[in-house]
Chains A and B, each alone.
Chain A
Amino acid sequence: MSIELLLALITGAALFGVGIYGALSQTNLVMIMMGIELILAGAMVNLVAFWRYLHPDNPAGQMFVLIIMTVMAIEMAVGFGVAIARFRAKGSVEMEEAAELKG
């Protein structure tokens, strides 16, 4: 049992929990996006830790981190695009006011 892996995993778990909290509790679209960034960051920490301490010889773990970073970038891009459109249309990005998709 190595402390390093456990420390990294706990760090990832904490980042994940904080990210969940932020994504659920914030009213602002940009803040919600920050929460999601944190969740993804938690996942990234885990991946790096798994690569380093379980399969250091396999570069696929690092490749996976790159994919996560891509996802983060895409999330940022699309999120800001939506935010701009929303701000143009309604003058705000407060998500409590956005219930147009109500079923």
Chain B
Amino acid sequence: MNLIAAAILAPLSMMVLILLLRRFPAVLALLGATVGMFASLYLLADAFNGQGNQLILPGLPDMPLRLISTPLTALLSTLVAVVSNLVLVYAVGYMKKDSEKVRFFATMLLFVSAMQTLVLAGDWILLLAAWELIGLSSYLLIGFWYRRPGVTSAATRAFLVTRSADLGLYIAVFILIASAGSSDIATTLNTGGNAAIAAGFFLLVAAMGKSAQTPLHDWLQRAMAGPTPVSALLHSATLVAAGAILLIRVAPMLPPEVLLVIGLVGGVTTVVAGLIALGERDLKRLTAASTSSQYGLMLVAVGAGVPLAALLHLIAHATIKSGLFLGAGIFQHSRNSTVLVNLQGAGRDRPRVFFGYALAALALAGIPPMSGYFSKEAIIAASLASPNALLLAPLALAGTLLTGAYMARALRILWHGDRKSHKIVGLYWMGAGLAGLVTLAVILGVTFPDIETLLNTRLPENTPTRFPPEIFGLGAAVGGLILGWFFTARRLLGPLLPWVQQGFTIAGGFDNLMVRPAFAIARSCERLERILYAGVFAVGRFGLDIGRAVRHNDEQGIDGLIFSLVRNTVELGSRARSLQSGLIHREMAITVVGTALILAALLLALLVY
């Protein structure tokens, strides 16, 4: 059996098994994820040896479904497998008290296999299917605690936002297939000209939806309503990453105009989301906003023309962010809350967890020698080297600064405060997952040169400035950390704070910009429909009236005729009955008169003719 299929089918088959058996969900889920992970690692090893794998399945006519294992896809597949495996380990502990483990692990496995399909897909049609599948499974996972208030609406919002942005992917795929004549991704990357520009913009829309870029970033924070392992998986390597992965894969095709727009969108997002994270009152929502911000940085890297930097940051961020979420989940269990005010001092209760969390936070901020440092430096260097450095570099630097600031803020709040955490179950499982991810987050930077070798590309070496770019990046990161540690959000943001806490509600925010007009359109549609409805009913009533008239005609006309005939016959009969008196003389008289009449008639006839 092909290993590509194994990477996808191992989680999927275990999902089916869980749903069939309805017991040992955690064990089976870990088994499936581990098998899938080994398959992915094997693919990666093959890729290192210069071997690619391919699996061609029957699909549309002349457009077979392809699963390919290039160095890039093998790497991403491995990333997805490893992160999801560690998150599942953590989830064993996190979900220990939950009564619906079967549903949870089954959905998680569906999610993982869908993501593997997306990553390994070699043609647009399979990618579209996987894209939809991760949308569906993320909807199921965000809405996992559907009985809690607000959860279903958050899930619906996430689904709707990503789903509407998905239309961009559809249009882009149509354009690409129409212009290239093939659904193979590698073939379509040769597209150029206007088709490439149009497809690029629509792909950007799709990526913005999935990667929660401004102005579509709102759903990601609301998606925190789901269980924490879900958030960890969603934000690091799977759902949100899908947008960035898409752009990284199509980066060779994108023309400069699109690249500029991508860079600007990413830059704006990283600043806006960073500010939101700085003003956030909830730890998980803070982390979510940070996710948007980091994906913004990746888009900056893509926009700067160095998708490799984006890929590296994606890998680093995947491990770091899932580590952060896992830590946050432990704190959440300790205090039964994710609101920052309630979490004050939670870190001091569990110093080992806090240590791991702090390492991840520092890695995200970009402190050497951890992975985040290398990837972030690559991005800043790329932005400085790009033709649009004046636009992109300040945004990237501001993003880095804000990253340091909000991570330091989170650390400060977690460290200072009372000790009042309670004992929690499943801590060892959760700790194991966290430890694995944090270790990866710390050491992954070492492997980046290998990845460059693997992908056969190099980060650009030459810098246009007199100082090495490391100085800018490190300065921004350390500066941010210092600001965040010593100053409160109120002092940092000043008058901006309320606005930031509302999530930058420009012109009334999403509700006013999108929801109200949508509702207005819906209302006018409803009005139109009512008119149509009335028309339809009028037609129906008209038909009924005709029917009634016909019935009336039947009853009064034909029936009336018949009934009056019957009535008259009966009346005639009763009159004739009264004639029959039984008295001989009467009847004889009648006989005489009748005979006379008959004779008269005969005589008349005789006379007339």
Contacts and interface: CB of A to CB of B under 8 A. Distances in A.
B589 A95 contact: no
A24 B583 contact: no
B491 interface: no
A58 B181 CA distance: 122
A99 B582 contact: yes
B588 A98 contact: no
B425 interface: no
B582 A102 contact: yes
Contacts of B97: none
B147 interface: no
Contacts of B581: 99, 102
A103 interface: yes
Contacts of A99: 581-583
A24 B582 contact: no
Contacts of A20: 592
Contacts of A102: 580-583
B577 interface: yes
Given A23-B588, A24-B588, A101-B582, 18 more contacts: A20-B592, A24-B589, A24-B592, A27-B585, A29-B584, A32-B585, A32-B588, A95-B583, A95-B584, A95-B585, A96-B583, A98-B582, A98-B584, A99-B581, A99-B583, A100-B582, A101-B580, A102-B583
Contacts of A103: 577, 580, 582
Contacts of B588: 23-24, 32
Contact of B583 (A25, A26, A29, A98): A98
A102 to B, nearest CB: 3
Nearest to A36: B588
Interface of B: 577, 580-585, 588-589, 592
Contacts of B583: 95-96, 98-99, 102
A20 B591 CA distance: 11
Interface of A: 20, 23-27, 29, 32, 95-96, 98-103
Closest 6 CB pairs of A and B: A102-B582, A103-B580, A101-B582, A99-B582, A95-B584, A103-B577
Contacts of A100: 582
Contacts, number: 34
A98 B583 CA distance: 6
23 contacts: A23-B588, A24-B588, A24-B592, A25-B585, A26-B585, A27-B585, A29-B584, A32-B584, A95-B583, A95-B584, A96-B585, A98-B582, A98-B584, A99-B581, A99-B583, A101-B580, A101-B582, A102-B580, A102-B581, A102-B583, A103-B577, A103-B580, A103-B582
Main DSSP-derived SS at the B contact region: helix
A34 B380 CA distance: 148
A96 B583 CA distance: 7
A99 B580 CA distance: 10
A103 B582 CA distance: 7
Contacts of A101: 580, 582
Nearest to A100: B582
B582 to A, nearest CB: 3
Nearest to A29: B584
A103 B588 CA distance: 15
A95 B587 CA distance: 12
Nearest to B589: A24
Contacts of B580: 101-103
Contacts of A95: 583-585
A56 B588 CA distance: 35
Nearest to A23: B588
Nearest to A27: B585
A95 B581 CA distance: 12
Nearest to B596: A20
A36 to B, nearest CB: 9
B585 A24 contact: yes
- Between A23, A26, A27, A100, the greatest number of chain B beta carbons within 10 A of the residue's beta carbon is seen for A23
A75 B319 CA distance: 133
Contacts of A26: 585
A100 to B, nearest CB: 6
Contacts of B584: 29, 32, 95, 98
Nearest to B577: A103
B474 to A, nearest CB: 128
- Between A24, A96, A100, the greatest number of chain B beta carbons within 10 A of the residue's beta carbon is seen for A24
